[in-house]
Amino acid sequence: LIISAHNPEEFGALAWDSYPTLRALMEMCITSQFVFPPPTLTTTPEKSEEVRTQELQLAQLEKQQILEFESRLAAASSKQVITEQSSLLLSTITRMDPLGPLRRPAAGVLDQLKQINSHYKLGHLLCRSRKRDFLLDILQRQGTNQAMPWLADLVESNEG
């Protein structure tokens, strides 16, 4: 994300086009709205619900895969039966598919992203890009009829 903000023409454009979760993080930095799914990605309540439903399905599948993996590990050593309650891995690992569908970042990640964005001004750097105009892309996707309170905040906080 930091590299994308400092080199938006190459890394930023690649991240925007190819990595859905990274794109969502970039939009969160631009709009300073650190919620999932980003309101700028889901322009209708139906789309927002669709993203949430897909994320829940992916999380459930991931949970099953982690439990199966941990069960195989336990079977090889202690023959212990692994459940959601006894799992040591469920709360510590996640399946990473960078090119896959949009995934919900952990709450701690969103808090860290908010701090990093505030400290390094990543959203401002991404907004300044014109070779790949991320801000224009968000505005065009949202349309003129939708309220954009984040835009007023962005203009007000812009230092340059």
Flag whether pLDDT at 41 surpasses 90: no
User: For residue 90, what pLDDT is reported?
Assistant: 92
* Tokens (6 digits) for 96: 């990473």
* Residue carrying the six token digits 């927002």: 48
* pLDDT above 70: percentage of residues in the chain: 96
CA angle, 48 as apex, 145 and 57 as ends, to 5°?
165
The letter for the amino acid at 157 is S
Q: Enter the pTM of the model.
A: 0.87
Backbone angles phi, psi at 149, to 5 degrees: -60, -25
pLDDT tens for each residue of 98-140: 999 999 988 899 999 999 999 999 999 999 999 999 999 998 8
* Tokens (6 digits) for 47: 């789309």
| 3-state secondary structure at position 148 | coil
Lowest mean pLDDT of 16-30, 42-56, 108-122, name the range.
42-56
